[in-house]
Structure 1
Amino acid sequence: MKPFQLTYVATGSVLLREALSGWGISKRTLASVKYSGGRILVNGDEVTVRHVLEKDDAVTVIFPIEERGEGLAAEEGPLQIVYEDDALLIIDKPPIQNTIPSREHPSGSLANIVANYFEEQRIPATLHIATRLDRDTSGLVCIAKNRHIHHMLSVQQQEKKMKRRYQALVHGELKQQEFAITKPIGRKSTSIIEREVRPDGQFAETEVQVLKEFSGYSHVLLQLNTGRTHQIRVHLSHIGHPLLGDDLYGGKRDLICRQALHCSELELIHPTTGKLLSFSSPLKEDMERLL
């Protein structure tokens, strides 16, 4: 099993520790490299972070092999892989499947199946899911194959450089064709599951564009500018247009038996190459039928 590694080229005379920080290696990642079996090589020789680099020195960071937690069982199952390389795995998740195991659904999750895939492919990593989806929600999920890659993707999300767009079917006809919902979201005081718009909640912003209107419901495109739990569901319910099938937040299940939400587009900057990557996923049959 070959450990994950990255190679950088120094652009001038600088302390190795400072160069690593500039390349996005966090203090936590550096600590795991130093104390958990990783190595740092300069021109093939192992060094410490106090080493002074010279221009054109080749720095190779060999990350420690990660061990999967005992709580995540590897299970066989289908995976619809959209994209894969040494750093990333993009999956098109079906509806009615957990992203990670839960008390109600301890097995059969996407994480269980990916853990088995990592074992079969001898990928030396535990699971790092950068973009989770609710059980009912279908579409694109981004998985990092290394803690460092996960960290870099998290920074992208914080800096709003990662774009996620969803298609949804909502109750009623919306008054505006394009608008943004900017309302803070927090946990509902009477529930451990539900969220709600509340003054003391976390900032949340969802952009909405109406694509087409039908009798009693509308097809909309949504862009998440933040990633709060149940954000889309809460925001749409708050403005009086809950998702079809989302009975937790006021939607009816007469037309579809799950919340009508699908992550159709994902755009990100590749953490190691710097290239812009764009992925798309067509609607699942149950939503497509209603169009």
Structure 2
Amino acid sequence: MKIIVKEAGSRLDKAMADLTKYSRTVTNELIKDGQVTVNGNAAKAKYKVQEGDVIEFTEPVEEVLEYLPEDLSLDIVYEDDDVAVVNKPQGMVVHPSAGHTSGTLVNGLMHQIKNLSGINGVIRPGIVHRIDKDTSGLLMVAKNDSAHEKLAEQLKAKTSKRRYLAIVHGNLPSDKGMIEAPIGRNPKDRKSQAVIASGKPAVTRFEVIERFNDYTLISLELETGRTHQIRVHMAYIGHPVAGDPLYGPRKTLIPNEGQFLHAEVLGFEHPTTGEWMEFTAPAPEVFQKAIEKLREQI
């Protein structure tokens, strides 16, 4: 593949990542493996590109992901011919990816639900929206393409309901609030998101349920669905989710128990009947034990 640099100043690995679909990690590996030339010559990752430089490289062969149905005993809260609602456990990845080809929600769905929509391809059958690996709770699953399109339209139009429970660090100054701050990829760390001026609009509403000494139990509703939205927004206002390995402090509520964020309520119009449907899933046991522990410390 050949690309021509139009703006000087970036490191070679970053310039390649900005100009292609590949991550900086991948471009760095290509450079180390001698698969990249600049103007016909080998160059190091730290080389500062110049306007007009011609970068040529061999495109990496993408890993072909093979996934199979697995009996994971998923908690299917509701199911009919068009839609299913599943309560995802904490620690489970939603769909297969490099490094996660088994044990995902999709693997389990393929075993328990025979018909799934194909709009998102063979890797994400039925998946209309996602929650993070370490977030537990409710997800809607489409069983055919028509249902998928209608459910996705509701998410886009902000007419569906998604309410979360979270334990966050610190004591929030107000009982209710709205965080409106744009979110995009962190320019300093491609694996994380951040509030940045060039990000996409993001709105999170929160309400305090219970206050403890150094933590607060809150409910949150999403008006938008940006990657890591709740986690980024809460960290942005100085109250990161307890146990969050990416945006929170290392010293937290219960070490090695994951982040205390749970998708508690999910509501939407049925894609065929138009009937409003709303589901609630209790927080997992570890979450409830953490609340009990906090109450004892007051």
Range class of TM-score, shorter chain = 0.7 to 0.9
CA contact (8 A) 1:171 1:251 kept: no
Matched, 1:279 2:279: yes
Q: CA deviation at 1:253?
A: 5.2
Q: What are the superposed Cα offsets for residues 103-160 of structure 1, whole Å, 9 maximum, x if unpaired? A: 23221001111012234xxx36542212211000000011000112111111111111
Q: What are the superposed Cα offsets for residues 214-246 of structure 1, whole Å, 9 maximum, x if unpaired? A: 111000000000000000000000000000000
CA contact (8 A) 1:244 1:252 kept: no
CA distance in 1, matches of 2:284, 2:264: 10
Correspondence list, 1:71-90, <5 A: 71-90=66-85
Unaligned 5+ segments in structure 1 are 1-68
Q: What are the superposed Cα offsets for residues 155-202 of structure 1, whole Å, 9 maximum, x if unpaired? A: 111111101000000000000110100000000113222000000000
Correspondence list, 1:92-131, <5 A: 92-119=87-114, 123=115, 125-126=117-118, 127-131=125-129
Aligned length: 220
CA distance in 1, matches of 2:193, 2:252: 24
Q: Name 2:262's counterpart in structure 1.
A: 262
Of 222, 225, 235, 1:224 maps to 222
Q: Name 1:241's counterpart in structure 2.
A: 239
Partner SS, residue 216 of structure 2:
strand
Residue identity opposite 2:206 in structure 1: V
RMSD of the alignment, in Å?
1.6
CA contact (8 A) 1:136 1:258 kept: yes
Matched, 1:140 2:138: yes
CA distance in 2, matches of 1:94, 1:251: 23
Q: What are the superposed Cα offsets for residues 20-49 of structure 1, whole Å, 9 maximum, x if unpaired? A: xxxxxxxxxxxxxxxxxxxxxxxxxxxxxx
CA distance in 1, matches of 2:181, 2:117: 37
**Structure 1 length-normalised TM:** 0.73
Unaligned 5+ segments in structure 2 are 1-63, 119-124, 292-298
Correspondence list, 1:17-32, <5 A: none
Identify the range of structure 1 (231-240 vs 184-193) with the bigger mean alpha-carbon deviation: 184-193
Correspondence list, 1:150-229, <5 A: 150-229=148-227
Identity over the aligned pairs, expressed in percent?
A: 40
Q: Which runs of 4+ in 1 moved over 3 A?
A: 69-72, 251-254
Q: What are the superposed Cα offsets for residues 36-89 of structure 1, whole Å, 9 maximum, x if unpaired? A: xxxxxxxxxxxxxxxxxxxxxxxxxxxxxxxxx974322221110100000001
CA distance in 1, matches of 2:116, 2:134: 30
Q: Name 1:58's counterpart in structure 2.
A: none
